Structure formats: C-alpha cells, structure tokens
Amino acid sequence: MEYLRLIGRLFYILFGFLSVAILILDFGFYYPETWKPYVALSIRSLVTFFILYESIHLLFTNKRWKEYVSLHKIELIILLMLGLEFIYEQDIVAILKSYHISAEDTTLIFLSANQVLFLFSNLAHFFRLSRKQDSKKLNPSILFVLSFAFIILLGVCFLHFPKSTTSAVKSIDLVFTTISATCVTGLSTVDLSSQFTLTGQLVVLLLIQVGGLGLMTLTSFFSIFLTGKGSVSDTMMVKDLLSEETMGRAKEVLKQITIQTLVIESIGALLLFYSFPENFPIALSDKIYYSIFHSISAFCNAGFSLMPSGLTTEAFKHSEGFLSVIMFLIVIGGLGFPVLFQIRTRLSNPFDYKFRWSVTSKLVFWTTGFLLLFGWGSYYFLEGDYTLKGLTTSEQIFHSLFYSVTTRTAGFNTLELSQMGLPITFISFFLMWVGASPVSTGGGIKTTTFAISLLNITNQIRGKERMEIDHRTIANSSIARASATIVLSLFVIFLAIFCLLLTENANFIDLCYEVVSAFGTVGLTRSLTPHLSDYGKIIICIIMFVGRVGILTLLVALSKKVDHISYEYPKEYVVVG
C-alpha cells in the first residue's frame, strides 16, 4: 500500500507541473486553433486524476476522519466545488450565455477554474511536505527579502509572455513595471491601459495584491490555515515577520490579515462600483473590473490606475464619492494590519473594559492624524495660486485632503503635479519619506519610526534616560532601530539623487521628488518617470525595492549575525553632537 501511495504521489507531482505548464501556455502564449481540443482534453484528464486521487486517498487513509479533514481542508473544498460545478454545469452555462459569453469562452472559464483549483491543491501538498523540513535556522529577514525577489522574478517572466502586452515593450520597462507593482509603488514608464492586455493587467493586479500583503504572509497563511495545524517553526516565523510578542497572537493576526483584506477590498470594490462617475461611460463588465482593480490598488497603496490619465481625468477629478472611497481605502491600508486587528476587536467588543490599545496603535493614530492634518492644511494654504487655482473653495479643501492622503505612499493624483509650487513640493518630501505604518501595505520609514525618533530627541533635550509611553517603557532596541532606519534612509535617498544627477538631464527638484517617491513607494511623479533613461530606471527600481523591504531589513538579511558574548568592556563616552 505504501508503494502504491508513493507512485500516486509521484504522478501527482508530475501532473502538478504539467498543469502549471498548460496554464502558462493557455494564458501566456498564442497557439494554433488545432491545439485547443488537445489542451482541453489534457486539462479534463488532470482534473479527473485529481478527483480520483483525492477520493482514493480519503477512502484508504489510516488517519481518523476528523484528523484527515483538518489536514486536507483545501482539497476537500476543491472536491466540493468541482462536484457542484459538475452538477450545475448546465445552469452555469445558461447564466454565462445570458451575459453574451460564447460557448468557447465558457469552456475556457471552466478549464481555467479547474486549473486554478488543481494548482491550489498542489500548493497545499507542497506546503505540507515543505513543513516537514527543518526551517528553524532561516532568518525571517532573509525570507522576507527573498520572497519579494522571487515574486518579482516570476512577474518579469509572466509580463514577457506574448499575451501580456499589446505591442513590443522593452524589457527594462517590463522589469520596472513588475518591481513597481510588487513594491506597491505605482510609478510606471508605460501606459498600463493601452500597452498591456487583460492578461498583463491581471498579472500586475496579482503582483500588487501579493506585494501589498507580502508573499511570506500569504504562504504562511496557506501553510498554517489551509493545510492543517502549523508547526512551531511556522508560527515562530510568522511571529517574527509580524513583530508580535506572542505566538498565539501572531497566528490570529495572520488569519485576520487575510480575512480583513478580502472583506475590505470587496466592500471597497462595491462602493467604487456604485460611486463610479456617470459621465465616464463604459460597459458593465469593464465597470466591475475597474472597480475591483482600483479597490485593490488603493488598499495596497499601489497607485496604479487603468485610466490613461489616471484620476486627473475630468470625470474622476470631480467625482467626490469615488475619490472619497479611494481615500478611505488608502488610509485603512496604511494603518497596518495589527492596528486594523485591534480596531476590529474594539468594534466587536465596545464595552470590554479589559481591552487596551497597544502603544504601537496609539503612536500610529496620533502620527497618522498629525501628518494628514499637516499635509491637508499645507496644501490648501500653499497651492492657492498653483494647482488649486480656478477651483471652488469646497473643491480646494477636498483636493487638498486627497493630496495629503495620497502622499502617504498611495500614488493617486487628481491634479497636475508638474505645476505644483516648490514650497508644497518640499513638504511632500517629508510626507512621502515618513510614509505609512509598520506591517501595512505602504512604505516609507514608517509613522512609528518617526514618532519614536521625535520622542527620543525630546528625551535627550530633557535629560530623560528612559522613553516611557502610556505607562510602558520603550525597549532600547526599538529606539536604536528607529534611529538607524532614519540615518540609512537619508543615506539611500542622497545617494540615489546623486546617481540620477549623473544619468539624467532633468530638473533637480523633479529628480528629488522621483527618488523620495520611489523610496516611500508612493508612486507620485512630476511627469519624469516616462522620460527616464535606462540607467535611471534601474536606479529607481533599486530604490523601490529597498524602500519596500526596508533598508535595515535588507542589511540584516545580507549581514552575518554576531554571536552573543557574555563579557562587557569598560564604558567610554565619546563626544558627539
């Protein structure tokens, strides 16, 4: 029996690779019409094998039924979905035909759905097998950096497929778009709506979603919650990735991250659909697609738009309802998942006297509120003679708020930034540099880093040795990390500006804006991005990657940790300042 099980597993792995190959062929390449029946037959055969394999596995398992169900949730869910699809296939076809979807497209939808389900099943098996390997020695920082590098590599490959672009696009532009999407920046050297097909746009959207949540977050979720009980090493890894104090809380936060993201993005898409500008006529299917795309892009603070002119298009520029939903999604995405988890806990138990806001949440609320109000007021009072000129008072107030929100790593803009005055441009540097909050979809040095450093300066002035917030003493390691992050971020920004001065022939202030925007993964530009040289694009790509994973995280991943020592040399004070 064990011998047969081994053979079945080998076939399962082989068919898994074959399924991925067919999926890539189907969505990435153009092939002769005569191949279609064979491709369809291959997919049907793969799905049939999967159903037989899982059914036999279920019948002859040596585990108790409840234990098997706990360990094979995703496979059983997929079996149920395939069964319902088989039973109600005619009804589904009838519904699709009512939306003028041809029989050929219906077949493709069924085959694609089956391929995706089969792929998910293979992922479940992969996570279950990989968990048996010892991963205790892996550094979370290394995994975090490598996960982003891996998804960027996949994205570059997918965008090079013939079906991804409408015409020939330079490889450097595809690499730039991939990194910008994965790092949820929003800078683009090409027009997403005209130069990418639906396949290419969906690849970009998937990169945004994975980049916003973090690949390690997604893989950990599948490993722990879809393939059974997670191991101690799994949970420890999640604890370090999310910077949580306890293993139990880390698992709960991870679960809530995935659920909250799906719920918020779904609600956001629904609100965007119903607030879509009426004077921007598009088909119903496109309206649904645009709403979903912009909801994910806004929540992940990516800033990518399917409109050729972005949100500066007149129809969207004067659509306060649509833009208000975008702002809401940006702010929610930038607060950070642990903070969202606490907000949800508080709202679900409003009278729980034991509930206590964490110091991180309080710092996030105060710093975010201050930065939003500061940016809002600054833009309103400084841009009256520039980008706000000609607008009514209510429109000036609204667009000032939108700009304050979008500089928090979002990247959407409703006004022409190249016409923006220099004073607000300098203030924008500060807003983009600080960015969003930790463990969020945004970038920058983070709100808590700025707050901790500011309080540390206050303590130094007052001669106070310990930093205390809300009856809690802040760890020295957190203070040191905040200071190091600020110094390193400024070093990276200054170095990148210097490199661009050597490669680009552009206005100095535009170069500075581009670099800070890339480092903060904001995605705003003063019309410079499409005109960058190839060397300039490479520099911005590096800055976007460093800004997303964090310069300190990157250096920790690349450095060898020193062994802890039990002795201490005599202290000596060095004159500084």
- The Cα 153–Cα 148 span in angstroms is 9
- Tell me the per-residue pLDDT of 1-58, one tens digit each, with 9 for 90 and over: 566 667 777 777 777 677 778 778 877 888 887 887 887 788 777 777 777 777 777 7
Question: Using CA atoms, how far apart are residues 572 and 324, in angstroms rounded to an integer?
Answer: 56
**Mean pLDDT across the stretch 359-373?**
94
* Comparison of pLDDT for 411 and 136, the residue scoring more: 411
Q: Of the candidates 336, 366, 84, which has an alpha carbon nearest to the alpha carbon of residue 214?
A: 336
Element containing residue 472 per DSSP (H, E): strand 472-473
Rounded-to-integer distance, Cα 179 and Cα 158, Å: 13
Q: Does residue 106 surpass a pLDDT of 60? A: no
Greater pLDDT, 302 or 86: 302
Question: Who wins on pLDDT, 243 or 448?
Answer: 448
Tell me, what's the pLDDT at 226? 47
3-state secondary structure (DSSP) of residue 196: strand
More confident residue, 45 or 481: 481
Angle value at C-alpha 87, between 85 and 90, nearest 5 degrees: 80
Q: What is the pLDDT of residues 220-271, one digit of tens each?
A: 555 555 444 454 444 555 554 555 554 455 566 666 777 888 899 999 999 9
Summarised one tens digit per residue, pLDDT across range 306-358 is 887 778 888 888 889 999 999 999 999 999 888 888 888 888 888 888 888 88
pLDDT of residue 401: 95
Nearest residue to 324 (alpha-carbon basis) of 308, 311, 337, 343 = 311
Lowest mean pLDDT among 61-70, 215-224, 411-420, 548-557: 215-224
Percent over 90 (pLDDT), the chain: 36
Which neighbouring-strand residues pair with 472?
469
SS3 469: strand
In the block, tokens 């090409």 appear at 190
Per-residue confidence band for 505, with pLDDT thresholds at 50, 70 and 90:
very high
Going by pLDDT thresholds of 50, 70 and 90, the confidence category of residue 134 is very low
Domain residue spans of the chain: 1-130
| Residue 120 pLDDT | 56
pLDDT(60) > 60: yes
Region at 197 (left for phi over 0; alpha for psi -120 to 50; beta for the rest)? beta
pLDDT at residue 316 in the model: 85
Compute the mean pLDDT over every residue in the chain, rounded to the nearest whole number. 81
Would you say 81 and 149 are in contact if contact means Cβ atoms under 8 Å apart? no
Are the C-beta atoms of residues 227 and 168 closer than 8 Å to each other? Answer: no
| Share above pLDDT 70 across residues of the chain, in percent, rounded to a whole number | 76
pTM higher than 0.75:
yes
The arithmetic mean of pLDDT across residues 477-504, rounded, is: 93
Round to whole Å and give the CA distance between 403 and 375: 8
CB neighbour burial string for 115-137, b if at least 16 within 10 angstroms, e if fewer:
bebbeebbbbbbbbeebeeeeee
